[in-house]
Amino acid sequence: MRIISLVFLTVFILSSFTLHKFYVSTTSIKFIPDDRSLQITAQVFADDFEFALKKMASGIKLNPDNNADLVDSLTKKYFQKNLVFKSNERDLPFDYLGKIYRNDLLVAYLEILLDSTVINFDVKNTLLFDFTDDQKNILHFRSQGRRRSFLSVPSKHTFDIELNLSK
């Protein structure tokens, strides 16, 4: 009887905990002064991203892609809408360099070439906010050995960044 009670208690305790999936993306932005460029790497969970792309085109399958050209086109379009860079109210368009899959992540590579007038910029990161309200996006900005980090959530998703971080 004691063993049955112990088993029941263990099952009850374990069943009261629910599994929680984390909804987090990471975007790294590195300023390269010699090139006046921003090198951007964004990592999102491939299954969550696939769900978001299916809103744009049903039947999409990632990792492996069922239609590589369409997936690349939709990925670029999604990032253009949800990872927006501006300086002085002017869009800073990025070049979509491509993507790879690393385990369960989609890793996208982007680059922005800056003109000499840009000294700061705003970045809006709403990646996968259309997928779940629990989504959080971590942004890391690096410039000349210094780093600044931000947490993007639905209520606060735009940040002002200076290219030359003060020491």
What are the tens digits of pLDDT across the range 9-68? Answer: 344 444 444 443 779 999 999 999 999 999 999 999 999 999 999 999 988 999 888 999
How many separate domains does the chain show? 1
What is the extent of the structural domain holding 147?
21-162
- How many whole angstroms separate alpha carbon 5 and alpha carbon 1? 6
In a domain, 10, yes or no: no
In a domain, 6, yes or no: no
Per-residue model confidence (pLDDT) at position 33: 93
In a domain, 11, yes or no: no
In a domain, 80, yes or no: yes
Nearest of 59, 58, 60 to residue 46 by alpha carbon: 60
pTM: 0.84
Residue 36 makes CB contacts below 8 A (sequence gap 6+) with: 113, 114, 115, 116, 118
In a domain, 3, yes or no: no
In a domain, 41, yes or no: yes
In a domain, 1, yes or no: no
